[in-house]
Every structure is written in structure tokens, then in C-alpha cells.
Structure 1
Amino acid sequence: MLWGGEQRSKARALSRVHDAVLGGDPAGLTPRTLISESWSRSLAAQVDPNRHEAPIVLGPDEVADRWARHPLSTVLPVLRETLVGIAEDAMHVMIITDADGHILWTEGAREVRRTAEGVGLTAGARWTEDAIGTNAMGIALAVDTSVVVHSAEHLVRTYHGWTCAASPVHDPDSGATIGSVDISGPLSIMHPAMGALVAAAARLAESELKLRQAASDELLRSRNMKHLIGLRGEPGALISPTGRVLIAEPHGLVPRRIDPASDRVPLGDGREGVLEPLEEGYLLRVAKSTGQARQPLLSLTFLGVEHPGAVLNGRELPLTWRHAELLTALVLHPRGLTAEQLALKLYGDRGNPATVRAELHRLRAQVGTGTLLTKPYRLCADVRGDFVAVRDALRCGDVRAAASGYRGALLPRSEAPVVREEREDLLAGVRRAVLTLGDAEGLWEFTRTDGGRADAEALGLLVRALPFDDARRELVVGQLRRALEADG
């Protein structure tokens, strides 16, 4: 292990390399390739080796919110057991970032944490290479590898007294990098095995995430096997929300992963599979040749949006707000409406049927005459709207599904009477349901929306429902305090 004079000797050698290379007179002195490439990327991003500081880009509430939602928060006990005790004994700090390099969690000896905070190693700071230059977390995220960055291998001189070891952590579902785990501390006491230990901790975290995914998959299979059985021997498959095939009959019917955004899936034998959304994931069945044209699939995203979204048979439609209001009215009245009725629902008493007919004419040009019928005006489509799903969940008494599906107000900028009435009904229905059930997860989802973010009653119930060690509790307590202050 490197201690005392040996450690200081290595740091002085690295400092000479740093000064020579950045001074333009390397004289044969170059850092190792991984560090040299990182210096190049950092300098190209205009990081100043002499004056750069890690930017604090997230406030405490946003850090708490992101950490509560981040998958690594669920495996914190594994990382603590592996790293925190060693970090505290060795006077180091454990750091966890998200995939964008934002520090979401720090833990370790108080004295070192205080020192680390002084140089930007604190929650809310961004530690990518373009933000603060060469560092272990930045390299781990940039090139997807475990790395130790020692002393003057850091591009910015502020960190020449530090040694950091980091490793990326990957999502077991997609394989994408979801964050990094890091141990940082004074260079004079960094054990040479720390890099291997951090890499091992990251792999343990991935293993734990994989076990949790397997348990979730098994629960999803058990809940939805009835749908596969309901095919009565016909080929089919259960698909996860992200498109992984959980079980297929027969085996090999479909690839291991499919695109859930498409409602049709080509099968290896030339047939076509149809995806049907379930409460969790999808059921894939083989399309039957009936000789009849199938209805177009119209998907609407109207809850809590800045711009309404619509997809018709996989083709995104550029919707105006007025067209979104028209579609809302038609979805809520599947038997159809006349131009006069639509004018009243969109404009109130000042509505003009001629104006509505002109808008309907433009909308029909977008969706096709076979999708928007006339006399009366009505939709001929399989409509899957987020607000429709919430309404259906409330009618069935499925509070969790209603709360998780309710992402905000229906077309929040619209003043059309038909939209305003449905918006108020949805908010009231979801609020009443989550308050009645008192379930922590339902309350959490509701208080993430604009309608529930400042709801003191819902926040108070959620504070009481969350365990004291739940990472979300601190965020909710802060929300409740601000809501009560606003109420006077």
C-alpha cells in the first residue's frame, strides 16, 4: 500500500506530468492513456485547470426527489455494508451519482464530509468531465469503466490533494448506466485496493437490482398469467412494461425484447403479434385473419402536459390545443356530437358551429376520414388516452392505478367547458380516492402532481404513512411545511 513518503513521491511525479503537459513542454512526460483522453475531453469543454469549481445545479428538494426515485436508493444498504464502514475508518466519503453526474448521496466520516463539501463533493453538484474536468466519477460515466484518479491526475488543481475511485452501475433491464459509486479521500491514506473494492460494490449493487427485478417479474407473471391462460392454447406472451418477454407460449415465439411502442410485432413465422396493454405490461397474442379492417389505434397524452400528444397507428400527430379539446369532447361522448353541441362544449354560449366545422375539417385531414366520422361527429378508433385510463381505474376502484396514471391536470391550459369539467372531476376523484385509502404509494404519486403538490391534507397523511427511514419522507415534510405556510 502507498503511505506517507511513498504516496507523496507519487503525487509529486504526477504533478510534474500535469505541469509539463498543460504547460506545453511535456518532454516525454505523459499521463496514462485513460487520463490523457479525459484531459483532452475536459479541456475541449473549456474546463479551467486553475479556477474551475464543481457547479451546484440541484437544490435540496430536487436532490431528495431524485434520490427517492432513483433505483440506487433501493440498494443503499448493500453499498453501506460494503463501503461506508471502510470509508469512515479510512477517513473517506462514499458518493453516489445519477447517470448525469449529479451527486445524490454522500456518506462517511463527518470531518472528511465537511472537507469534501468545501471542494464541491456535495449533494446537488455535477461531476461530469465537462463540468469539473477529469475525475473518477466523470470518467466512469463517460467511458463506462471502473477507475482510480490519483492526485494530479485530476485536471483541476483544487483536487490534487485527493484520490478518488469510482465505478459505473448499470440497469439490469436495459444495460444502460444509471449512475456511479465513488470513494474519495485525502491522497495520503488511499489504499491501493480501494478501486477493486468500489468496483466490487458496484457489481453487488447490480446483482441486488437484478434480484429485485426478478422478484418484480415473477409478481407480474403471477398477476397476469390469467391473461395468457385466457388465450386457450393460442400462441401468446407476457411482456414487461419496458418490452422484455417474461414468458412465451410456445418458447421462442418472439425475440427476448420487443418495442412496446408498436402495437404490431412481426413474428418469426411470418405472422403478426398484437400488443394489448395490461395494468402492468402487455399481453401479446397472434393476430387473427378475419378479413375485416381493424380499427385504427389512437393514443392520447393529455394529462399534465405542456403540449398535448397524439399517436395514430404509430404516427405522431402535430396537435393544436383546439384539436386536443375536440378530441377530448369526442372521447367523452363516444356516440357522437353535432357541430352545435361541440360548439357549446368548446366555447360555451358564444360558440359558433361554423367555426367548429372548420376545425373538424382540419382535424379530419390529419387523422383520416375513416377515423373521424360525421353525422354526428364521432371517433372510429381504439382510443387509449391517459385520462381515459384514470377514469376507468377510478370506476373500478383501483386507487393505485388511478394515482400513478394521474400525472397532472387534463390539458392544463384549456378553458373549454368540457375540458374544465372533466379536469375538475378527475382531480376530485383521484384526491378523494387516495385520501380515503391512505396508501403511501398512492399519496406519493398524487403529491407529485400540480394538483396535489400543495395539498396539506394529502401531505399530512403521507408523512404519517411513510416509514421514518424512507428517503422520501424528508422531501414530503418540506412540502407540507411550505403548504401550511402558504395557507397562512
Structure 2
Amino acid sequence: MTVAEAPEADLLRDPESYARLLEHVRAAVLAGTPAPRSPRSVVSASWDRSLAARVDPDAGEAPVVYEPGELPGLRGEHPLSPVLPLLRQNLVSIADDAEHMMIVTDADGLILWREGETGVLLRADRVALTEGTRWSEAAAGTNAMGTALATGEPVRIHSAEHLVRRYHAWTCAAAPVRDPDTGALLGSIDVSGPLRTVHPAMLALVTATAQLAEGQLRAHLAVRDERLRQANMRHLAALRGRPGALLSASGRVLAAESCVLPSTVDVRRGGGTVALPDGRLATVEPLPEGYLLYLSSPGPSPARPHRARLALDFLTDGPGSATVDGREVPFTLRHAEILTLLALAPDGMTADRLACRLYGESGNPVTVRAEIHRLRTQLGTSVVRTRPYRLAADVDADFLRCRAALRRGAADEAVRAFRGPLLPESESPAIRQERESLTAQVRQVALNSADAEVLWAFWETSCGVDDLAIVDALCAALPAGDPRRAVVLTHRARL
């Protein structure tokens, strides 16, 4: 976690005047006119993500995704529940004195806990800043909780830096909290209050508290590790000197015998044969809360179980295609959406989460279960697994290749993989967000490349053919003697 940014001098000197300046900046940026100053880069990037998710800047509101009666179960199962007393000790008393409130979310921005000064809580009720609402950027636009989760870094959002107008009377600071075992985001902690209550130490306070929470989670993890070692060392001893190790549920090596291993082994759910980075084969057997690993004996390597190859070509102006081990399989749009979302989440998803990403707030997990059953019947139970829903095949998807190329900055590879928008007929909120994000990123890397071949490849797609900026860049990049230049110039004249 990076060190929290220092608050701007204008904000601390006169928060309300600074808020009025931010209003002018936001209005100008949304209107596409010159702004009195540029928004902070973290805010500008968040506005872009929020607008790509179709958050309404003037009428948006955080959606209610769980009713009050559903929250106790979610809270009790959440990994941040054990550190709630620490968070209360560090934040709630201060929040009460300063007319703020403490908020704790899960990794998807769902508010699980909210505590603080009564007057502030009542004001928060009027803008749906309550338990059971979702504050991810895609759901509520730019806000400290959602932006901290999106960037993985602490952030302060003041007044009109919130994309949605109804939150402009608020100032907030949030920091993410990560699982010390896996590094995955667990959620965020936030301190929010009315505009006039902004304090220079707010961001530093939540950042330090998040670090303390992670430290306490590490201490709890060490206790669990020791308990697992004590309960299962007999299994390691039973190997009688044969090379082996005890692993945690996430694959961390807790104890080893007669072998050198990496700190973490990539274990599959249920165990089985795994290949170590140096090429050695090992067998992993499930234990209560962990695994026993032992190295395979010398001799011929056992045959590895067949793993199906699933190829998805969904970045196209045409109908797209899906194959399993080279065999083309028919699919509906809904099945294509499910396959895309599962390919983007290799660790899998619950029925509830998949329903939300497919249908939005109205998603019904019963409908998802029925679709998964049909998909498993069509593709095979070895390709689509349950508990959680996930793909158990080797996936070769053009949208994953495109994403990987964008991360590497490989413009030519990204554009080669991008032959059209991702599932253009899909109205799924998550697919639509991924489609718009991929299209915008590929367009930008094509423009930045100024490479005639890259620009030509993007221009040939439906996304680029009538894009005047792409056409102009292509005209500039193509040499005078290239016959394609005349084609592009003629098309430009028609635009």
C-alpha cells in the first residue's frame, strides 16, 4: 500500500471554495469544454471508468443489493469481521467527535458495516450511503470506497470529485484491505462526512488503520498456520523421510521434509498431480484446512489427465465461435456471456455473483443455475465445473489475448486479436463494461502507435471504420504511394 497523498493546500484552507472550483472543473470536463484546472489523475481515470460503466452523473445512485435481514449472514462470513473491534477502536470514536462515520465494504463495494455520529448517519440515509448498498465505481461512480477498490490504493474524494451530483456535499477517504494469505482484496475501510468536516489527517488515518487491520489478519493467519501444522505433522512424518511438505489451503508451504520448494505451490481444488516450477512432479492430497504434498518417485512420469481446450472467438463483427478440442459447438448469446465472464474470473463465481454480473440488480441465481446446467450438458461437465462455477479447461480466448497484449503495451498484438467489439448484442452490464473498456483501450493504443498497419487493422473493424480520428491518423501514417491511402481519403470525404 502506497503512502497516502498529502491533501491540497486549497482544500484545507477553504474547503467550500475549493468545492465550488471542483464543481466548475467537473462541469467543464463532462461538457467537453476548457476547465479552470485539470482534475487529479486518479479522479480523471475514475470518471472515465465510471462513465464507461454508464453511471449517470446527474441522477446516479448506489443500488440496494441486499435487504437488512440478509446482512448478518454476510457479515459473519466476511474475513474482515474479526478485525471490526480494531476498526471501531481506531475510527468510530474519532468519527463521532468529528461528525464523520466509519464504513466497511467487501471487495465488490457492498457496505457491510456503518457506524458513527447519529446526525451524519441520518444525512447518509438520504443519499443511500447505507448498509446493503453497493459503492463500486461501476455501481455508484467515483467515490473513495469504489476508487480505492478499483486502484488498490488509498484515496480521498472531495465534493465534486464524486462523479454523481448527489454526493457533492460529502468528503471521504478510503483504503483497501488485502488478504495476507493470497493478496486478494477483501474490502475497503472508509471515513465519510459532510463537506465542512474535511480534515487533513483523514486519509492518513484510514491508511494506517487499514495497515493495522492487515497486521491483525496476519497474526490470525499465523495462529491458523500453527494449528494446521500441529494437527497434520503426523501426515508429513508418515512419509518416513520421503520428500514432502504441508501446505495451507492456498498452497503456502508451512513445513517441508527433505526437499526445497517455492514458498507457494499452485494447487488445484481437490488435489492431484502438480508440476513444480523446476519441472518436478508432485502429488497433492487434501487434508483438513490444507494439503499434504509429496514428490513423485523416480521413474516414468504418470500420464497427466486430459484437460479440454476451450477456444473462444468473441471479438468479431460476425457471430463469433466456440470450440472444445477443435470441435465447434453451437451457443446462445447467454451462453457466450457466461463463458466470457467465467473466462475473466478464473477462480470462479457463485451463482449470486454471476447473476449480478449477467443481469444487474435484477439477476436471479435460479436462472443462472438453469443456464449453467444447459451449458454443462452441451460442453461437458469437465469443461464447466460447479461450486464455484468455473472453467476447468485450458482457455484460449481472443479477448484474454487482447487484454494481455494491452497490459504489455503490444499494440500490434492487441489489434490483431481485436476483430470487432466483444459480443456486441449483449446487454449484460459486466459484458458491456468489458466491451467498452477493451474497445477504448485498443483504439487508444492504435492511435498512440501511429503505425499504418496497426491503424489499418483497427480501421477495418466496425469500431474504427467511421472513427474520424482513426481515419485522420491512418491518412497521416500511410505513405503517398500506398494504394490504401486513396481508399481511406475517399472514405474520409464521405464521412
Please give the TM-score of this superposition, normalised by the length of structure 2: 0.58
Q: Does the 8 A contact of 1:245 with 1:258 survive in 2? A: no
Q: Does the 8 A contact of 1:253 with 1:268 survive in 2? A: no
Match of 1:22 among 11, 30, 37: 30
Instruction: Note the C-alpha offset of 1:256.
Output: 2.4
What is the CA–CA distance in structure 1 between the aligned matches of 2:184 and 2:301, rounded to whole Å? 42
Q: Is 1:280 equivalent to 2:289 in the alignment?
A: yes
3-state secondary structure, aligned to 2:246:
strand
Mark the structure with the bigger radius of gyration. 1
Post-superposition CA distance 1:212-257 (Å, at most 9, x none): 0110000000000011111111111001112111111135235523
Q: Does the 8 A contact of 2:16 with 2:196 survive in 1? A: yes
Q: Aligned letter for 1:287?
A: S
Q: Does the 8 A contact of 2:244 with 2:259 survive in 1? A: no
What is the CA–CA distance in structure 1 between the aligned matches of 2:51 and 2:198, rounded to whole Å? 27
Q: Does the 8 A contact of 1:167 with 1:198 survive in 2? A: yes
Q: Does the 8 A contact of 2:55 with 2:139 survive in 1? A: yes
The residue aligned with 1:46 is: 54
What is the CA–CA distance in structure 2 between the aligned matches of 1:168 and 1:141, rounded to whole Å? 6
What is the CA–CA distance in structure 2 between the aligned matches of 1:29 and 1:21, rounded to whole Å? 10
The residue aligned with 2:471 is: none
The verdict on how the C-alpha distance between 1:136 and 1:319 changes in structure 2, with shifts beyond 3 A counting, is closer
Match of 2:230 among 212, 222, 242: 222
Instruction: Note the C-alpha offset of 1:292.
Output: 11
What is the CA–CA distance in structure 2 between the aligned matches of 1:168 and 1:225, rounded to whole Å? 35
Q: Is 1:173 equivalent to 2:181 in the alignment?
A: yes
Q: Does the 8 A contact of 1:4 with 1:188 survive in 2? A: no
What is the CA–CA distance in structure 2 between the aligned matches of 1:52 and 1:66, rounded to whole Å? 26
Larger mean CA deviation between 41-50 and 124-133 belongs to: 41-50
Matches within 5 A, 1:327-476: none
Instruction: Note the C-alpha offset of 1:279.
Output: 2.3
Instruction: Note the C-alpha offset of 1:258.
Output: 2.2
Match of 2:254 among 246, 260, 264: 246
Match of 1:235 among 227, 230, 243: 243
The verdict on how the C-alpha distance between 1:112 and 1:284 changes in structure 2, with shifts beyond 3 A counting, is same
The verdict on how the C-alpha distance between 1:135 and 1:294 changes in structure 2, with shifts beyond 3 A counting, is closer
Post-superposition CA distance 1:263-314 (Å, at most 9, x none): 11234675421112222311111223588989989xxxxxx997789x9xxx
The residue aligned with 1:64 is: 72
Percent same amino acid at aligned positions? 51
Q: Does the 8 A contact of 1:2 with 1:191 survive in 2? A: no
Q: Is 1:196 equivalent to 2:204 in the alignment?
A: yes
Matches within 5 A, 1:118-267: 118-250=126-258, 252-261=260-269, 262-267=271-276
3-state secondary structure, aligned to 2:274:
strand
Aligned length, in residue pairs: 311
3-state secondary structure, aligned to 1:54:
coil
Post-superposition CA distance 1:161-185 (Å, at most 9, x none): 1101001110111101110000000
The verdict on how the C-alpha distance between 1:52 and 1:296 changes in structure 2, with shifts beyond 3 A counting, is closer
What is the CA–CA distance in structure 2 between the aligned matches of 1:132 and 1:198, rounded to whole Å? 21
What is the CA–CA distance in structure 1 between the aligned matches of 2:178 and 2:69, rounded to whole Å? 25
What is the CA–CA distance in structure 1 between the aligned matches of 2:181 and 2:59, rounded to whole Å? 40
Q: Is 1:77 equivalent to 2:82 in the alignment?
A: no
The verdict on how the C-alpha distance between 1:185 and 1:267 changes in structure 2, with shifts beyond 3 A counting, is closer
For structure 2, the 5+ residue unaligned runs are: 1-8, 307-365, 386-495
The verdict on how the C-alpha distance between 1:248 and 1:39 changes in structure 2, with shifts beyond 3 A counting, is same
Q: Aligned letter for 1:174?
A: T
What is the CA–CA distance in structure 2 between the aligned matches of 1:61 and 1:191, rounded to whole Å? 35
What is the CA–CA distance in structure 2 between the aligned matches of 1:142 and 1:208, rounded to whole Å? 23
Q: Does the 8 A contact of 2:46 with 2:147 survive in 1? A: yes
Instruction: Note the C-alpha offset of 1:26.
Output: 2.3
The residue aligned with 2:397 is: none
What is the CA–CA distance in structure 2 between the aligned matches of 1:255 and 1:191, rounded to whole Å? 42
Instruction: Note the C-alpha offset of 1:61.
Output: 2.6
3-state secondary structure, aligned to 1:152:
helix
What is the CA–CA distance in structure 2 between the aligned matches of 1:21 and 1:98, rounded to whole Å? 31
The residue aligned with 2:121 is: 113
Match of 2:106 among 98, 120, 126: 98
The verdict on how the C-alpha distance between 1:27 and 1:103 changes in structure 2, with shifts beyond 3 A counting, is closer
Q: Aligned letter for 1:35?
A: V
Q: Does the 8 A contact of 1:146 with 1:167 survive in 2? A: yes
3-state secondary structure, aligned to 2:112:
strand
3-state secondary structure, aligned to 1:172:
coil
What is the CA–CA distance in structure 2 between the aligned matches of 1:153 and 1:147, rounded to whole Å? 11
What is the CA–CA distance in structure 1 between the aligned matches of 2:88 and 2:94, rounded to whole Å? 9
Q: Does the 8 A contact of 1:167 with 1:199 survive in 2? A: yes
What is the CA–CA distance in structure 1 between the aligned matches of 2:45 and 2:302, rounded to whole Å? 57
Q: Aligned letter for 1:280?
A: E
RMSD over aligned CA atoms reads: 3.1
Q: Does the 8 A contact of 2:12 with 2:199 survive in 1? A: no
What is the CA–CA distance in structure 2 between the aligned matches of 1:12 and 1:295, rounded to whole Å? 65
The verdict on how the C-alpha distance between 1:69 and 1:210 changes in structure 2, with shifts beyond 3 A counting, is same
